[in-house]
Structure 1
């Protein structure tokens, strides 16, 4: 993982997902998910 700041968030996500009996994670390329990509970039840049 390139961004060290994401490691704790990843660990928390995995922990929370473990509480569910079933879940599905689906990869969506950035080009097909521009709104979420923009929000993620804003969050990583420290924007609100």
Structure 2
């Protein structure tokens, strides 16, 4: 399954995780996510974590 959307970066460099992705991964306010940049692939991934 591929879920993607385009989001805008705010003036404080914040982005909103789109509702359909929050619902799919059951991300709620206060949850922690890990942001990982892969230099080789040039990608940024958001990983849901409960740490």
TM-score by length of 2: 0.27
Larger radius of gyration: 1
| Structure with more strand by fraction | 2
| Structure with more helix by fraction | 1
